[in-house]
Amino acid sequence: MYRYDEFDAALVRERVEEFRDQVARRASGALTEDQFKPLRLMNGVYLQLHAYMLRVAVPYGTMDSRQMRRLAHIARTYDKGYGHFTTRTNIQYNWPALTDLPAILEDLASVEMHAIQTSGNCIRNVTTDVFAGAADDEIEDPRPWCEILRQWSTIHPEFSFLPRKFKVAVIGGPNDRAAIRTHDVGLEIVGRDGNDTLFRVFVGGGQGRLPHIGKEIATDVRGTELLAYLTAILRAYNLLGRRDNIHKARIKILVESLGIEAFRAEVDRQFETLRDEDLRLPQAEVERIRAYFAPPAFETLDGSSGAFDRAVLADPDFARWNRNNVRRHRQPGYASAVISLKGLGEVPGDITDTQMEVVADLAERYSFDEVRAAYEQNLVLPHVKLDDLPSVWRALLAAGLATPNADLATDVIACPGLDYCSLANARSIPVAQALSKRLADLDYQERVGPVRINMSGCINACGHHHVGHIGVLGVDRKGEEYYQITVGGSPDEQAALGQIVGRSLPSEAVAPAIQRALDRYLEIREDGERFIDTVRRVGHEPFGEAIYEGLDAAV
């Protein structure tokens, strides 16, 4: 893992003191809310329905046990004993008092964490594949590049006041587990040229009320020139992006209005100047950052484990968890374990302080002191010996964290919705909970297999409903909560936006409607087809028919 150097530490420490002064001036009345709002947003502080909300950055989703324990401490001391992981691998606290925020930031700084650039019109926390450095389909570990981008983008003077927020995701191979084409910029490592890494670059992805899938702008940007190329993109956006209309200010709108060819030409024009300037990354610096992400000291194992095999045979519950939540690892004898934060009827992404402590203990003991936050609002222990998986599972089971549903129908991505969010039109969590309870039968879920279901409480789409295989969007109809369903979205390397299948439904109709769509899939799928494969083959119409079967849709 990366460790702060003296520059990082000083920057974060100074920011804490700066914000402490700003909070004191706000509390004393010396600053008005209008004056304070941009300052708090620069430190990840929102004012939501019931309280302030603090969004803490987990850089590229990677944490150690010390950091996880500190997050638990903050939940216990300053909040209501829990935190909420988001699709951008941040953690949010829903109840901190304004006057406690400096102390919370100081606590975070003590473990090399902060909330800088988790909101505001700047470059946000860079995200990546939750299995980075562990997956066997990776060309190169993307995390060193995420760290390089973190350092480059943190308090970047030119890019601290962009037209709108700017999100970047990086993956290390062709299989996209970080939804890069829904980001303002998506980077995919495609190969090497000598010592240099080559990146395919997508631009102009985004969700919200005008969703776009990112378009390819370059096929082989060299790692040593990556910062120059990204600067060219951001400079073009900063100069040409709209600032007169918040709904048309994201780079996706600029790319769409200019066309990708014209936007590429503008970026290339900027790049020609920038590539020869001091933004060229020295190879030695790349290697220095890479060294922080060197593989841990794996044991040399033969890839089999008697303890693991015996546990699979002896305990069907462990076998089920292994089938659904354990992923192949590049190192023989190891695996990655998904910790589902989607327990039966629970809140997607929520984790209590006690559970965080358990995860920290497991990471320290069994996963080289590393735990990851996932796009899907789950956690991952990236490097667990097969021998240790039964012990890890038993500890997770005791903590209520062993729900064997990773990537299945109840592994729902959902935003906080109207229960917390001041922007929302409708609640998301109760609808996700109703679905979780309705589809609780794990045999049924396994029969259905992998399916991504996403829920958002408003068109801002924090629950990524546009790219859910099944998406649910909460809408307001004359003061009542209704839900629009989409089918066929996908966040992966075949990224696509879902199609609206019909009129919106009342909340109690959503879970049964989704189950009918899944049942229809079971009826019509061909051998080996996942839900999304069947949708791609037959279109969304059969699923729309199932969703509205026997139902009078709302007007």
Partner 1 sequence: MKLLTANRLDDGRVIYWAEGGETTGVLREAARLDAVMAETALARARSRPDVFVNPYLVEAIDGVPSGRDRIKETIRATGPTVGNSLPHPASAGAR
In the complex, the residues that contact partner 1 under the rule CB under 8 A are 26-29, 32-33, 47-52, 76-82, 94-95, 97-99, 346-347, 350, 352-353, 418-420, 424, 426-427, 429-430, 433, 476, 478-481
Nearest to partner 1 of 50, 247 (CB atom) = 50
Residue the block writes with tokens 């679905």: 435
- At closest approach, how far in Å is the CB of 74 from partner 1? 11
Run of H or E residues at 13: helix 6-28
- At closest approach, how far in Å is the CB of 78 from partner 1? 7
Nearest to partner 1 of 423, 524 (CB atom) = 423
Nearest to partner 1 of 123, 341 (CB atom) = 341
Nearest to partner 1 of 36, 199 (CB atom) = 36
- At closest approach, how far in Å is the CB of 97 from partner 1? 4
Structure tokens at 85: 């992981």
- Distance, in Å, from the CA atom of 87 to the CA atom of 101, rounded to the nearest integer, reads 23
Nearest to partner 1 of 3, 478 (CB atom) = 478
Nearest to partner 1 of 9, 27 (CB atom) = 27
- At closest approach, how far in Å is the CB of 435 from partner 1? 13
Nearest to partner 1 of 51, 258 (CB atom) = 51
- At closest approach, how far in Å is the CB of 99 from partner 1? 5
- At closest approach, how far in Å is the CB of 433 from partner 1? 6
**Number of alpha carbons in the 13 Å side-chain half-sphere of residue 170:** 28
According to DSSP, residue 367 is labeled S
The three-state DSSP-derived secondary structure of 29-96 is CCCCHHHHHHHHHCCCEEECCCCEEEEECCHHHEECHHHHHHHHHHHHHHCCCEEEECCCCCEEECCC
Residue 425's CB is within 10 A of a number of other CB atoms, namely 19
Distance spanning both ends of the chain, measured CA to CA: 53
- At closest approach, how far in Å is the CB of 328 from partner 1? 33
- At closest approach, how far in Å is the CB of 49 from partner 1? 5
- At closest approach, how far in Å is the CB of 345 from partner 1? 9
Nearest to partner 1 of 476, 545 (CB atom) = 476
- At closest approach, how far in Å is the CB of 405 from partner 1? 18
User: Beta 413-414 vs 453-456: how paired, if at all?
Assistant: parallel
Beta bridge partners of 200: 188
One-letter amino acid of 375:
Y
Nearest to partner 1 of 40, 150 (CB atom) = 40
Identify the CA nearest to 98 among candidates 58, 161, 59, 48. 48
Nearest to partner 1 of 50, 243 (CB atom) = 50
- At closest approach, how far in Å is the CB of 419 from partner 1? 4
CB 152 within 8 A of CB 107: no
Nearest to partner 1 of 249, 418 (CB atom) = 418
CB 465 within 8 A of CB 378: no
- At closest approach, how far in Å is the CB of 19 from partner 1? 16
Residue 352's CB is within 10 A of a number of other CB atoms, namely 18
Beta bridge partners of 212: 206
One-letter amino acid of 477:
R
Radius of gyration of the chain (CA): 23
Quick check: helix, strand or coil at residue 408?
A: coil
CB 281 within 8 A of CB 197: no
Give residue 464's Cα distance to chain centre.
10
Q: How many residues does the chain have?
A: 555
- At closest approach, how far in Å is the CB of 26 from partner 1? 7
Structure tokens at 28: 């004393």
CB 60 within 8 A of CB 146: yes
- Distance, in Å, from the CA atom of 282 to the CA atom of 290, rounded to the nearest integer, reads 13
CB 83 within 8 A of CB 71: yes
Nearest to partner 1 of 92, 128 (CB atom) = 92
- At closest approach, how far in Å is the CB of 420 from partner 1? 6
DSSP letter string, 209-227 = TS-B--EEEEEEEEGGGHH
CB 184 within 8 A of CB 236: no
According to DSSP, residue 280 is labeled P
Residue 296's CB is within 10 A of a number of other CB atoms, namely 15
Nearest to partner 1 of 30, 398 (CB atom) = 30
Nearest to partner 1 of 274, 351 (CB atom) = 351
